[in-house]
Amino acid sequence: MVRKLAPLFSALILALTLVPTAQAVEVERVESDKGIVAWLVRDDTVPVTAIEFTFADAGAVMDPEGKAGTANLTSALIDEGAGDLDSQAFQGRLNDLSIRLSFSAGRTDFSGSFYSLNRYRSDAVDMLRLALNAPRFDEEPVARIRRQILSGLKQKESDPGSLASEALMKTLFPGHPYSVPTQGTQDSLAAITVADMKRFQAEALTRDRLKIGVVGDITPAELKPILDKAFGALPMTGRMPEVADVTIDGPAGTVVVDQAVPQSTVFFAQQGLAIDDPDYYAGMVLNHILGGGSFESILMQEIRVKRGLAYSVYSFLQPMEHAALLRGGLATQNDRVAQSIDLVGQVFTDIKENGVSTEQVKDAKTYITGSYPLRFTNTSSIANQLVAMQRYDFGIDYIDARNGYVEAVTADQVNRLAGTLLNPDALALIVVGQPDGVEATLPTPDGVGG
């Protein structure tokens, strides 16, 4: 039953639906003497400096054949001893100076994260320089980190979410680098040598693919020598990975990965939108309405709120370098999987055929624009925005311009996009569990659930 809203609250809602645009954040382009470019936002809220950076196309896509996990293993080792400092000395120094320094390798990029109190900044930058330029790869940390990753891989063999992810990528991208697990496999990890990691470092951690975002209590004049010190000695260029573009066209159907758990984990995916697609912002609005993380999304309403079938159900756009996905997921007890999957298909079909309402589009736009400033409440998060803006060629004025792109989306555009993009007949479904009454129509990929 729907209760009548008190007039007071209805008035309030109407009055407040105009949301101010993002605050004026001034982004400066800083170029060092050696030509290293960073985007900077000066902010003296706390006495710190955050540097976020990414090496584009330097993630798992660079892994040599049979040596999957090279980028990831390297990312875990370059802060385990560098220069004259062995692993414990290096980590001890980071710890004593409260320096947060970490590296990670994803499917496409190799990223780094630096956060230091300004009073330790000079020493902290030295540590960053050493990690990027002079990692030691000593025997002990290489063996230790390899053991830890192997242990993690073993644990993933029985983790429903990890199994579903792996099955999804192998099903969608057979024979493509995206199907290879970024952390590698037991066999591939064992095959990686120090020479492989050094070659990776020389070929992938190069200046031509570096994007840097800096936020903190720091001036451009202070930043320039820091950029030169940390990044100036890296090679200019290296090897670019060869990765084929893929358009997702199914395979439509269902993979069931047998796992003795009371609750099945379900992932679904179809073709999505590239980040530079002219319809990307319409897609953002469409996804928000479909299952984009608010309680008002249609998937949430149909599957959780009305029927109590799942605790979490969601969708998201995943644009990658060479493929783009519209993905989603839910988890529900084994005897309710069939009903939940049917509902997902019905929701896709209904939106595709009947569209969404002008009101839904308006509410989604209000949320997407209004919540944008919430990304600017901590130093590292702002720096990450600056990296993404460079990574995707968004332009230095993007923070001011972005909400305008969202505002420009119309209901007609969203509904036209829904008609062409949503493809319930081509959904690939992965179910990990022991679902009742769900037939597997696609094979379980090799190596999943082993």
* Nearest-approach distance from CB 129 to other proteins, in angstroms: 21
Task: Output 33 or 311, the one with its CB closest to other proteins.
Answer: 311
> Measured from the CB of residue 215, what is the shortest distance to other proteins in angstroms?
10
**Where does 98-216 have alpha helices with state H?**
121-133, 139-156, 160-172, 186-191, 194-204
Q: Which is nearer to other proteins, 32 or 62 (CB)?
A: 62
CB of 185 to other proteins, least distance (A): 14
- The distance of closest approach from Cβ of residue 370 to other proteins in the complex, given in angstroms and rounded to an integer, is 1
Instruction: Give the nearest distance from C-beta 353 to other proteins in angstroms.
Output: 24
Q: Give φ, ψ of 266 to 5 degrees.
A: -120, 130
Q: In this complex, which beta carbon is closest to other proteins, that of residue 229 or of residue 288?
A: 288
Question: Of the two residues 88 and 357, which places its CB atom closer to other proteins in the complex?
Answer: 88
Helices 280-291 and 398-407: crossing angle in degrees, nearest 10, is: 70
Would residue 24 be called left, alpha or beta, if left means φ above 0 and alpha means ψ between -120 and 50 degrees? Answer: beta
Hey, what's the torsion of the CAs at 133, 135, 136, 141, to 10 degrees? Answer: 180
Contact 34, 224 (CB under 8 A): no
Return the number of the residue (115 or 231) whose C-beta is nearest other proteins.
115
- Report the nearest approach of other proteins to the CB of residue 33 (Å): 30
Report the C-alpha gap between 360 and 366 in whole angstroms.
10
Euclidean distance between CA atoms 175 and 173, whole angstroms: 6
Give the list of residues 6+ apart from residue 91 with CB closer than 8 angstroms, or none.
79, 80
Q: What token pair was written down for 412?
A: 């007609």
188 vs 369 by CB, closer to other proteins: 369
Tokens for 417, please give them.
């996009």
- Which of residues 32 and 127 has its CB atom nearest to other proteins in the complex? 127
Which of helix, strand or coil describes residue 266? strand
Least Å distance, CB 233 to other proteins, is: 27
Asked if 376 contacts 44 with a C-beta cutoff of 8 angstroms, the reply is: no
Q: How far is the CB of 234 from other proteins (least distance, A)?
A: 21
Strands (E), 273-323: 313-319
Residue nearer to other proteins on the CB measure, 201 or 265? 265
Q: Which residues contact 199 (CB under 8 A, 6 or more apart)?
A: none
Nearer to other proteins, 32 or 321 (CB): 321
Between CA 274 and CA 200 the distance in angstroms is 28
Nearest distance, CB of residue 159 and other proteins, angstroms: 8
Instruction: Give residue 234's Cα distance to chain centre.
Output: 26
Query: Min. distance of Cβ 16 from other proteins in angstroms?
Result: 5
115 CB-contact burial (10 Å; exposed 0-12 / middle 13-18 / buried 19+): buried
Rounded CA-CA distance 110/205 in Å is 8
Give the residue among 284, 419, 422, 277 at the shortest CA–CA distance from 365. Answer: 284
How many CA atoms lie less than 13 Å away from 234 in the CB half-sphere? Answer: 28
Nearer to other proteins, 91 or 410 (CB): 91
CB of 409 to other proteins, least distance (A): 15
**Quick one: 29 or 306, whose CB is closer to other proteins?**
306
Measured between alpha carbons, how far is 392 from 380 in angstroms, rounded to an integer? 18
